[in-house]
A and B are shown apart, each in its own frame.
Chain A
């Protein structure tokens, strides 16, 4: 697989565009904060999260979800980098493949509360929910028709969306695919993760011995993926390459990962074969590493045994766990790292956990040129996926 990344954009707690994100991630100063003015919850002052800036939140249009706002902003940045206008898509075979969690769910809490309580309510939120899909909405935003797919493999959605989008190009379904993930902080997921006792009350500590739960996050990451012919035809720029994609299920438990990382191993194995890379060709791994006790353990088993010695970066200490957006945001960060030739320190990592058998980088670390990166995701239900990326100079 050699699908060109000809544009990219991102919005998350690290910044409202990739330049801000690049600057902030290597400064390493970011911390989670408490939710303000988004929704009411008894837990707001107990569980910190990673939020998109107020300046971005204020840009939401009427009837727009925050998830779509983030996606729209990330897409606009990606289009600008790719040198594409909306009209340019009209002559191309276009695909849109977006991962999400919240933006595909019936999360109209206020509507539902009023509806259930028989209080006066408009059916507009329901009507919108019935007809809405985030990937179709991207096509509407661009004013075009094309292949559309909204992926909901929970926390692996963003990685799956990029892998599938790249494969659509490889298999000739599309010339160009807008692929990524988006998600927003929301009462339902916020309360749900707390009730499942997965959320932590402090800044998360991926792969740390004292890790004690996740911090939720939000944002969107978008890649513009293109065939080599299409990039060449329009004199586009190559920012990187999607080299491989693997996906495999654990078939083990509804909420817990298979302890030995069985599905993840299979996903990694397929992706590396498809990419034609061995572990010696990997510059680093951007791990899923949520800071949850069992998840980090299962992931480390797979990474340690298959890819021991490859530098590991874990970035949820900067972004939180952005659920359906996580894989896309981390793929974006991986691309930034490949092109900056360094990976950031693992924020808030302090104590090595001997049980894991791996140690993430604790300082900003230079990486070798002309090597690839692997970014993986593990999700509820035992979904595992990973993609392998090359930077702008990777051949």
Chain B
């Protein structure tokens, strides 16, 4: 028998972005879950380059809905109970028809071919696949747009709360016998009557591409900017809004070689020489799609910089696992580079999952932030940039949620942001190795472990976390104490040993010792060229000349020979990455 192939697929669990595709007037009086279905159907057609406003004579439409428009059925019964049958609502009755999704899709997306709605609880989608195949075999149509959509039944949700994990969602698949690169494979026998459309929804999510070419137009320039930022001042300002190609024209050969060598590691490019190739985004995109993974580098602020490979599956688990925090968000404004683990999750993957538009801005305080931000925005940023808002005496417009991560958010910043009108502040705790682990929404509060993690406790200390679905397991970068089930506090950073001439030494311990000197304001210690190196910021008014000997003598008395930093750099402020983490120097 002929094989079914997938031309395209898409899913939706909110109506975000629907106004861009349909006239608001067309959408009035249409229920939310029908709008979600419309959006998902429209996205599926668009991905297959089928114009939405074109008549679709040759595309069949099959909707599988476990329960249909149950909320409207309840509304109609409510109107009979509350007002009596004489005043019962005709609108609710008309909207309660099982085939209402099919109706609105056929009207607004101009379907003219065969159409059908199937409704038999958890078995609806699997059953519908048979008829889709049958239609194609009989040449009723060239393609079948097969959709699954359901509301969460209000009565079932209340009575069977522990069995309901489903949500209002829709998933659509454009099926054909014409061979594409994806065979449509459906695992049969996965019927779940309590969550009828969730299996199809999960299937559509599995087909969501890891990245698209448009994403690369943000990721690669951000990668280049960040790579250069350690060496060039104002790189964000100078290179902002430039494409990768334009940026590469402006930098020297040596810098270019360094960028390319890091980029190859980031994308997992092995055998292609990218130095001579101008279509850099294309090459990186192909590598990502082939490898189905991304390599995040740690900043090295807590340890030696290292690579952290995250597979598509891991990133999907994480994106879905954090999405519950962002129910009322309408748009994402991100100041975090798109290649960074945090920026990639919240500035690239989350908007894609929730169908949110993204505005990417460099973390520059002089931009007109009062004009950029608007009601319903999620501002993805980091503590150092939030400090600028305090310095600028900034007042947030109504309805802005702030998401902060990359380094601990001090209590005063939390409090100040609320004072300045932020709707909500969410701090994410995590690392490049693990991705997001926990979150909190107020200063001084403990963190809640995100739902896709399990953890191992030793005494009251959480020693290890591991993912529920994917194979990711990691020690935590900090000492983390469990407060109650799935609630924890971060006590302090772990001090990881580095080997100097075969002896273990602890950079954090040395940092702490250095900071005890009267003239030292800030100090960072790292492994340099086989020996430790230190970066020191002196207290205001203290000159390097006067402090240098005193600090050296102090180190001689307090540190062992292996602990002594070989190189000491003095500066006005610590070297920071563009988003506030300690950078190398």
Contacts and interface: CB of A to CB of B under 8 A. Distances in A.
B76 A380 contact: no
Nearest to A380: B97
Given A150-B118, A248-B114, A380-B99, A42 B78 contact: no
B90 A196 contact: yes
Interface of B: 1, 55, 61, 67-68, 70, 73-74, 76-78, 80-81, 84-86, 88-90, 93-94, 96-100, 102-104, 106-107, 109-121, 123-124, 127-128, 130-131, 133-135, 137-138, 140, 153, 155-156, 159-160, 193-194
8 contacts: A41-B85, A117-B81, A150-B124, A150-B127, A197-B90, A249-B111, A380-B99, A383-B102
B97 A251 contact: no
B121 A254 contact: no
Contact of B77 (A112, A131, A147): A112
B61 A249 contact: yes
B93 A191 contact: yes
Contact of A254 (B74, B77, B103, B130): B103
Contacts of A153: 99, 102, 115-117
Contacts of A250: 106
A152 B117 contact: yes
Contacts of A133: 119-121, 123
Given A134-B120, A167-B138, A195-B90, 15 more contacts: A105-B98, A106-B70, A106-B73, A148-B123, A168-B130, A171-B137, A195-B89, A197-B90, A248-B112, A249-B61, A251-B111, A379-B99, A380-B97, A381-B100, A381-B103
Given A43-B85, A254-B100, A105 B73 contact: yes
Contacts of B116: 151, 153, 160, 164, 247, 383
Nearest to B57: A266
Contact of A249 (B1, B76, B106, B155): B106
Interface in A284-332: none
A154 B98 contact: yes
Given A148-B120, A188-B76, A168 B98 contact: no
A249 B59 CA distance: 11
A332 B24 CA distance: 45
Interface string A125-167: 0100011111110000000000111111110000010001001
| In the A-B complex, the 8 residue pairs with the closest CB atoms | A381-B103, A133-B120, A192-B93, A152-B98, A195-B90, A249-B115, A150-B120, A251-B106
A39 to B, nearest CB: 10
A22 to B, nearest CB: 31
A186 to B, nearest CB: 12
A101 B123 contact: no
B112 A266 contact: yes
Contacts of A249: 61, 102, 106, 111-115
A381 B102 contact: yes
Interface string A358-376: 0000000000000000000
A251 B1 contact: no
A302 B492 CA distance: 78
A379 to B, nearest CB: 7
A192 B88 CA distance: 8
B61 A42 contact: no
Contacts of A34: none
Interface in A234-285: 247-255, 262-263, 266, 270, 274
A130 B118 contact: no
Contacts of B96: 105, 188, 192
B70 to A, nearest CB: 5
